[in-house]
Chains A and B, each alone.
Chain A
Amino acid sequence: MAQAIAIVNANEFYVSCERVFDPGLLGRPVVVLSNNDGCIISRSREARALNLTMGAPLFKVQDIVEANDVAVFSSNYQLYGDLSLRLVEAFYEFTPDVEVYSIDEAFLGLETHPDQSFRDYGLEIKAKVYQWTGVPCSLGISQTKTLSKVAQRFTKKHAAAQGVLDLTDQADQTSVLEETPVEDVWGVGPAYGKLLAGAGITTARQLRDADRRWVRRRMIVVGARIVEELRGISCLPLERCPQARKSVTCSRSFGVLVEFIEELREAVAVYTTKAAERRRRARLAAGVVRIFVSTNRFSADPQYSNSVTFELAYATDSTEELLAWTRKALERIYRPGYRYKKAGVMLNHLTPADELTTRLFGDERFERSRRLMKAVDEINRKFGRDTVRFDAVRPGGRWETKCLRRSRRYTTCLNEVLRIA
């Protein structure tokens, strides 16, 4: 029985999610925009061929978009988030060793039978994941995470690999590493890339074969680890249990400048609600609340920015309580006469909600509040976000993400499911 580490990467993930439910998008240039419909954050192959670059602001490429009938979408994180979870569940059908690395990537610990090659297993995983979820993936397989990343990247440039490269063989490793620019190796990046180029190291193969002591001196322990990993010695084991996140931030630039406290108050309430919702979903309570506001530092307007942090006597995950705190915090830092561009809420010192300490006073009220939150979350999950909301949060406010081109929430909202004649 042979063992290896695979990285599975969902190709052009956000675009692929849109295509699962809209076959008219197949073969067509498609882009997905960031929050507020600002920049391109996901592109189909056809869109890349039109030189629509990653991070390009939509208004700058409007001509290309119109001339080529490019399909443009606002990001639909409800859909992408759900399909991402489905992908992870699909990976668990093959192995219990799954490390979710990002919304569209995971490392898998794989084992094969003696009569099965890693390539065949990889092709099987790719085909089944596509059949089950509709999302196309590519896989790189090798002895270490770093080598599997190299392999996965290689499949993108070589169509003949059909999206799967088994890079467990040492001779193959040497030739693939030789074709890989050193700054494309996982963990190297442009800064180290420059340093290495100065020393005449431009390919991944040269880095693998570099003098260990030299690398350790110039790139400290990180570099030494990369070299070991390129040599096939695993230094980065799979992390199966994601660590509880220590903080969560919800902030956004406004579509238009905001001057009055009433408006800011609503924006802050929206962000507080979202941050609290996310914490409850992760079963975490916040012990520290921080809010910040700032003007547009790129404008000629008078400038102001400030933040304030409250340490709570008792950690809480209740929107009701957090709203009271962020409202108070805003009043402390708001100054009239400025045009605000951005506000945000940060929840810190997150502790598991099940371990909340008993309160001296007001326990009963807090319990009531938590029960209320549970009911609110259930309703919003069932009927769509903001079906039930606090009075401070009015719908359709301008601090809500602009998402004029969002597709349906096909998998999380019953009245937005796919319709077929």
Chain B
Amino acid sequence: MGDSVAGIYLPRRAAKLARPLVAWRVPAGFPSPAQDEIEGRIDLNRDLIKHPLATFYVRVEGDSMEPRIHAGALLVVDRMAETKDGDVVIARVGSEFMVKRLCIEADGSVWLLSENPAYAPVQVTEGLGFEVWGKVMYSIHRH
């Protein structure tokens, strides 16, 4: 029974990639005028990820969202964020996942759109097994 839970990973929010917001040289004898202004460093984990418990990462493999999302990009996906017309989402359609732009028409019909014109829009109809898996908050692309 000993090893039944081999790995429990706490979300690590304290990434050490940080820069001071305000950096000052302190003139000897005088208190720094900036001292009261320092508010802690930028921490992308803290500032970009609003809901760590519901945030997942996804790697994009295709080019259907070019030029908005490049193949190979790492997506930050939030399952807690509300989704609305125009959002980029991870959608489940039947047994498949896709990255698409959500389009909700005035008449209530729902479409999944690709940015790349080579891919046709998909209309969401009943019985398709459609579900918004999560909202794409950011895409990280290495240059």
Chain A contact residues, CB within 8 Å of chain B: 23-24, 26, 35, 77-78, 80-82, 84-86, 89-90, 93, 103, 131-134, 248-252, 274-275, 281, 344, 346, 381, 385, 401, 410-412, 414, 417-421
Contacts and interface: CB of A to CB of B under 8 A. Distances in A.
Interface in B56-75: 56-62, 64, 74
Contacts of B96: 23-24
B79 A134 contact: yes
9 contacts: A23-B97, A26-B129, A82-B7, A82-B8, A85-B9, A131-B80, A381-B12, A419-B60, A421-B60
Given A89-B53, A132-B80, A421 B2 contact: no
B58 A418 contact: yes
Contacts of A78: 6-7, 9
Contact residues of B: prevailing secondary structure: loop
Contact of B2 (A81, A89, A250, A417): A250
Given A133-B53, A274-B3, A414-B57, A420 B9 contact: no
Nearest to B2: A249
Contacts of A133: 53-54, 79
A415 to B, nearest CB: 9
B51 A81 contact: no
B99 interface: yes
A156 B98 CA distance: 32
B63 to A, nearest CB: 9
Nearest to B7: A78
Contacts of B8: 81-82, 84-85, 281
A412 B79 contact: no
B5 A417 contact: no
Given A86-B54, A274-B3, A414-B57, A420 B99 contact: yes
Contacts of A24: 95-96
Contacts of A252: 2-3
A417 B74 contact: yes
A420 B90 contact: yes
A134 B56 CA distance: 11
Contacts of B64: 421
Given A103-B5, A249-B1, A420-B62, 11 more contacts: A81-B8, A81-B9, A82-B8, A84-B8, A85-B10, A103-B4, A133-B53, A133-B79, A134-B79, A417-B57, A418-B97
B59 A421 contact: no
A421 B98 contact: yes
Given A23-B96, A23-B97, A132-B80, A410 B56 contact: yes
Given A77-B7, A85-B8, A417-B59, A248 B53 contact: no
Closest 4 pairs (CB-CB, A-B): A249-B2, A421-B62, A89-B53, A81-B8
Nearest to B131: A23
A414 B7 CA distance: 15
A77 B90 CA distance: 25
Interface in B34-65: 51-54, 56-62, 64
A86 B55 CA distance: 10
Most buried by A among B1, B8, B51: B8
Interface in B1-34: 1-12
A73 to B, nearest CB: 15
B92 A23 contact: yes
A48 B79 CA distance: 30
Nearest to B6: A77
B2 A344 contact: yes
B79 A35 contact: no
Contacts of A275: 2
Contacts of A414: 57, 74
